[in-house]
Amino acid sequence: MAIVEVTVIPLGTGNTSLSSFVAGCLGILEKSKGIQFQLTPMGTIIEGELEQVMNLVQQMHEQPFAAGADRVNTIIRIDDRRDKKSTMEGKVASVEEKLIKPGGTD
């Protein structure tokens, strides 16, 4: 399973608001089976088989063009771990386990 962060940035839209484009990209993910995803303030995290996720990223990249954008810049980061299963929640939990709790000792 891969964990992929994607940010799709429509350019040449004539408007500074991008939420409708983001919603269009998320609609692609909502229709997909076999993946998990999480919207963040600066992008979307997708968890699934790499081939399927990359296909979805391509569809997300194309969505703003279909909605009228003249240019699209897409940023992709891939975490593809093969030595053990990795999930979005597991990555966050691993860091949280290592945080020093208030009032605790080092």
In a domain, 104, yes or no: no
In a domain, 29, yes or no: yes
SS (H, E, C) 76-97: EEEEECCCCCCCHHHHHHHHHH
At 82 the pLDDT is 87
Q: Residue 91 is part of which domain span?
A: 2-98
At 86 the pLDDT is 87
In a domain, 13, yes or no: yes
In a domain, 15, yes or no: yes
The pTM of the full predicted model, rounded to 2 decimals, is: 0.86
In a domain, 39, yes or no: yes
In a domain, 41, yes or no: yes
For 12-68, how does the pLDDT look when each residue is reduced to its tens digit (9 = 90+)? 898 889 999 999 999 999 999 999 999 999 999 999 999 999 999 999 999 999 999
- Of the chain, the end-to-end C-alpha distance in Å amounts to 34
Number of structural domains in the chain: 1
Name residue 58's amino acid: Q
For 66-97, how does the pLDDT look when each residue is reduced to its tens digit (9 = 90+)? 999 999 999 999 999 889 888 999 889 888 99
In a domain, 56, yes or no: yes
**Which has the higher per-residue pLDDT, 101 or 74?**
74
CATH number at residue 74: 3.30.70.930
